[in-house]
Each structure stands twice: as structure tokens, then as C-alpha cells.
A = this chain, B = another copy of it.
Amino acid sequence: MRQRLSVEAYTKGVLSADTIVLSRAITLIESKLKNDKLLAKAVLENILPHTGKSIRVGITGVPGVGKSTFIEALGKHITSQEKKIAVLTIDPSSKKTGGSILADKTRMEDLSRDPLAFIRPSASGLSLGGVARSTRETMLLCEAAGYEVIIIETVGVGQSETLVKGMTDFFLLLMLAGAGDELQGIKKGIMEMADVVAINKADGANKISAELAVTEYQNALHLFPKSDSDFITKVVTCSGLENSGISSLWKLIIEYQDETIRNGYFEKNRQSQNLEWMHDYIRQTLEDQFYENVIIKKALASSERSVKEGNELPVAAAQRLLNIFMQNLLK
């Protein structure tokens, strides 16, 4: 990482929408160094009064559903209305493989050249909790830099959807027609989080099957309970490739925002997300202190083995590890 800026320089750069400073501020937030963390905290505190004014949209779908093409089409539609859009990604694959499903350099080429758009993949090498944290903070920085729409993109294959749902105002699930096999990759419960399900690639020969899929999903969705937002989950078709259905989908998002601002859910959801965020951070830190403790790390493997094999009660093993931890902490 290049030389750090001062708190004032980061703050001023972000607030004046300097994308180079914004990028560096995000890198600062992702840093694991203690000094960077202190600096990041000060910057975040400075920009806090300028955050919260965007609509935060989560988008998910399995690899192959056409997320990039779709987001590019949606992004271009939004910037054509003179609105600034930031696209952030949460990519759980980047940690395990070193590579990444989402970090493909050729993605969203067109949108990435748009001066009203800002695209940023999540840092690699972070835990899911770490990614959640840095994405939340990146979102605040982008808002302070005046981005009016924040897209948080993720792959529909893991726990990351729950995280994204917990930090966005609106959740969009992209699906393909010909349900069944495609759904294998979608984690249980994700469909139920969606405010809108969009059947993508509804183009050419796929149009008819996409319309059938709409009916099928609508039938499935009516079995689910109404969301807390009182907004009834809609199923629509679209094509990122042919740029069809994009503007009406964006209208749906705006409609959702208007409706939930009116009925108070928008603010209520944001407030409970903030509380959740605080408690998440507390829990995560307590756990990290435990599991990252050197002595615990050493003791854990044999405890896990004896519990798995039924030689020790889970509770007894847990209590033993906790005693070791407390003794070590108080030393």
C-alpha cells in the first residue's frame, strides 16, 4: 500500500467525490494493520453525517445467470438518468481459491468507463465476517462520495446472501427459466429473501420458458409468508443482453423505495440493520478473540476429534476449552 494520507485528506477527498482517494480509503478500510484500523475509524467518523442517503440494492444469482451483463445494463440505465452508482461485490470464493468468480477483469467494461459509475470487488483474504464489515464500511464511503445507488452483488451459493440481505434496502434475485437444475446452486431460503425475482436471459428462444417460469415462481412464492415490508414479492422477466425489462425493473425498485418510505419500513429496517451490525461486530470480535487464541488453536483439533467420535460430551469439551481460554486471558 502506498503512503497513507491524513485523516483530513481522506475525508476531503471522499466528500469531494475524488475516486482515487475513495479507492485508497476503501483499501485503508480493508487493511488488517492496527494503525490503518485507527485511521479508518477516524475517517469513517468524519464522513458519517454524509451517509445513508442512497438506495442499497442487493443482487444475487448463481454463476451463469448473467449477473454482470444484467448489472451493466441496469447501471447504464441508472447513469443515463444522471444518477451515480457504485457496484460492490461480496465474493466468498475469492478467499478459498485465491481466484474469484466475480473478479473477472473483462466484466462490466462499459459501465466501468462511465464517470458516474464506480466498481469495486471485495478484498480477498478476508473472512466472511471481515468481508461483511469492509463492505458495510465501503458502502458508507461511497454514500459520502455522493453515490445515490449502491449495488451489492454476490454469488448465490453461500452465506453471503444473508449478509447482503442484512445490509441492503432491496434484494433482487436473478434466476433462469427451466427451474429445477439451476436452483440446485441456490442456497435454501434465498428465494424467500427476494423482494423481486427476475428471470434473466428472457430473450430469443427463451422468452416462452421465461414466461412459464414467472407463473411457476409466482405459485411457489404465494406459499411464502408476506414480507415485513408489506411489499409483495414480484416475479418479472428481463434480459441484460437485449436490455429489455431493465427500466421497468428499476421502476419496481423505486416503487419499493417509495412504498417502504411511506409505510415506515425503510427507516425501521435501516435502524434494525444498524443494531444488528453493532451486535454482529461484538459477537464476531468475541469469537475471534477465542478462536484466534494460540493456545485454543492448539487444543481445538483434539477436542473436535473426541467430540466427533462421541468420546466426550460436546458441552464438556466446550467448557474445558473455555476454561483454558479464560485462564490464558487473565494471565
Binding site for B on A (CB under 8 A): 41, 44-45, 48, 52, 133, 137, 179-180, 183-189, 191-193, 216-217, 219-220, 222-226, 271, 274-275, 277-279, 281-283, 285-287, 290, 303-304, 307-310, 313-319, 321-322, 329-330
Contacts and interface: CB of A to CB of B under 8 A. Distances in A.
A36 to B, nearest CB: 14
A283 B287 contact: yes
Given A192-B189, A286-B286, A307-B274, A216 B223 contact: yes
Given A188-B189, A189-B188, A286-B290, A179 B223 contact: yes
A286 B188 CA distance: 29
- Which residue of A41, A185, A282 has the most chain B CB atoms within 10 A of its CB atom? A282
B319 A281 contact: yes
Nearest to A192: B188
Given A179-B222, A275-B314, A330-B330, 13 more contacts: A44-B313, A45-B313, A45-B316, A48-B313, A180-B223, A183-B225, A191-B223, A216-B219, A217-B223, A220-B220, A278-B317, A281-B314, A282-B318
Contact of A285 (B216, B225, B307, B322): B322
Contact of A316 (B41, B186, B225, B303): B41
A193 B192 CA distance: 13
A78 B204 CA distance: 57
Contacts of A226: 184
A58 B254 CA distance: 42
Contacts of A191: 223
B303 A278 contact: yes
A214 to B, nearest CB: 13
